[in-house]
Amino acid sequence: MSRAGSRFLFALLLVLSGSLLAWNLSRFVGAKPQMRVATKLNFLPRPALARAMAMGHTNTLAKLRWINSFDYFAYQVEAQDDAVAGGTKGGFRRLYESLIALDPLYLPYYEHAVTTVGGIMGNHEDELYFTSLGVHNLPFAPSVWAMHVATLQVFFDLEERDPAKMEGILERWAEQERLNPNGDPSNPQAWLAALARRHFRGLGQVTYWGRVLATADKPTAPQADLARSMMQEQLARHGEHQLQALVDAAPSSVTELKSVLAESVLGLVYASPRAAADPAEPIGLTSDGSFVLRADPYGVPYRLLDGKVQSEGLVRAEARRRLAAYSGWLLSIATSRGAWPKDLDQARAWLGTQAPPLPEPPGELHLVNNRFELAYPGEDEQRAWTDEDLIRAADLVREAPPQAAPTPSD
């Protein structure tokens, strides 16, 4: 081939190559970046149909379908639009409804459903739907209960809107944990205790804590100690509330609490005067039929200060609970110094502005075994309500601990 022919062929190839490149690039002119996903979720059978199609291999089919959806999950992290044809339900809801129907005891399905439906798509109604399925199918899985309660609290504000309903859910969670041989009811019980302090509901939780106390293995068990302290606190608050109602309802100014024990005053608050002597009430009935003012559940008399009823035992209990934080700070400082304080004065000096305040007389602050403690002279001589008193206040009788439920298979 001549030199002119070679040049012509080269120019032709160059033009053809440029045309081919321009044709390929023309498809991207004005185009927007868009992710591609190979997995489609348009065909997801209803739960009943999915089980029938599994031909007895439900667990295997569920896991294969779940694994096959991972690239769809990655796509939705960016797209956040799981709308699919054939209905109003999103792709993720249809996916996890099918997976849970095939294998309802597989915990990761519920955890992943919460992540995708609630966390990525922001659909908290469907998130609550799956956590509700979880507590129904896996009642002994604490993580499912935690997700369920957290969803109700954070996205539905259930504690503020309906504290009684939130208490009921927390009590069921705590009861499932208590019946589980490997369970730990401390998390729901701590939430219950905090809820009771934020929302006064009278005797709303007393029955639950009374049941825990009545079925404890022994009086010194941690569960018994917790139930006892919560019942004392809530019954003391109830006593304050009831006595304050009597003080406010009295036809004349009240200077002494015992003056509200007149039947004419009791009838203004209670359905009948004798109803005031219920085991949970701060008023007792003597053998001769007269009414007396009971000590609070801690064994300390109620006080009337400037027209306000106060449970002195509750005040002392709350002060002791706050001391735990001061003892924790002291431990941190002692660890950094490599030594413990010699006495109370040195311990308070180390804490500086964070030192615990001195109690009002007759209270005394002491340092015992490197922990702050409050003492009140003569307090041991006061009669606190016994466990039987507390259990009767909850309208219960002591019973044997319940048998633990069998652990469900994985």
pLDDT (tens digit, 9 = 90+) per residue, 1-56? 566 667 777 777 777 777 777 777 666 666 555 555 555 555 667 777 787 888 88
Please indicate, yes or no, whether residues 365 and 247 belong to a single structural domain of this protein: no
Would residue 334 count as lying in a domain? yes
pLDDT in tens, 243-260: 999 999 998 888 889 889
Q: Which of 172, 205, 238 is the last residue of a domain?
A: 205
Residue 4 belongs to some domain of the structure? no
DSSP 57-70: -HHHHHHHHHHHTH
Tell me the mean pLDDT in the region 287-313.
92
**What's the pTM value of the predicted model, to 2 decimals?**
0.79
CB 279 within 8 A of CB 389: yes
User: Which one-letter DSSP state was computed for residue 90?
Assistant: B
* Alpha helices per DSSP H over 69-162: 70-79, 91-102, 107-113, 124-137, 142-156, 158-161
Among 85-89, 131-135, 222-226, 324-328, the minimum mean pLDDT is found in 85-89
Helix, strand, or coil here: 391? helix
Percent of the chain with pLDDT over 90: 57
Sorting pLDDT into bands at 50, 70 and 90, what band is 116? very high
Q: Which residue has the higher pLDDT, 70 or 88?
A: 70
Same domain, 334 and 365: yes
Q: Is there a domain that residue 14 lies in?
A: no
30 lies in some domain = no
In a domain, 15, yes or no: no
How many domains is the chain built from? Answer: 3
pLDDT for position 401: 52
Q: Read off the pLDDT band of 406 (50, 70, 90).
A: very low
140: pLDDT strictly greater than 70: yes
Please count the CA atoms within 13 angstroms of the CA of 187 that sit on its side-chain side: 16
pLDDT for the residue numbered 107: 96
Q: pLDDT band at 136, cuts 50/70/90?
A: very high
Q: Is residue 336 part of a domain?
A: yes
Both 223 and 267 in one domain: the answer is yes
pLDDT in tens, 154-182: 999 999 999 999 999 999 999 999 999 89
Strands (E), 352-401: 364-368, 371-375
Residue 150 lies in a domain: yes
Among candidate residues 155, 159, 160, 180, the one with its CA nearest the CA of residue 168: 159
Other beta carbons within 10 Å of 205: 22
Q: Mark whether 361 and 253 lie in a shared domain.
A: no
The whole-number pLDDT of residue 328 equals 94
pLDDT > 70: percent of the chain? 88
Domain limit, last residue, from 187, 205, 223: 205
Q: Are residues 145 and 218 in the same domain?
A: no
Please check whether residues 194 and 66 belong to one and the same domain: yes
Q: Please tell me whether residues 362 and 292 are part of one structural domain.
A: no
Q: Does residue 177 sit in the same domain as residue 277? A: no
CATH number of the domain that residue 125 is part of = 1.25.40.10
What pLDDT sits at residue 410? 42
Averaged confidence pLDDT in the chain: 86
CA–CA separation, 321 and 373 (whole Å): 10
In a domain, 210, yes or no: yes
Residue 311, SS3 per DSSP: strand
- Both 200 and 212 in a single domain? no
> Residue 350 sits in which domain range?
314-381
Residues 181, 214, single domain; the answer is no
Say whether pLDDT at 95 is over 50.
Answer: yes
pLDDT given for residue 33 in this prediction:
54
Q: Residues with Cβ < 8 Å from 91, sequence gap 6 or more?
A: 41, 44, 72, 76, 82, 83, 84
Instruction: Name the pairing type of β-strands 291-293 and 302-305.
Output: unpaired
pLDDT bin (cut points 50, 70, 90) of residue 205 is: very high
Residue 409: what pLDDT?
A: 42
Looking at the structure, do residues 345 and 276 belong to the same domain, yes or no?
no
Q: Are residues 175 and 269 in the same domain?
A: no
Asked if pLDDT for residue 351 goes beyond 60, the answer is yes
Q: Among residues 170, 205, 240, which one ends one of the domains? A: 205
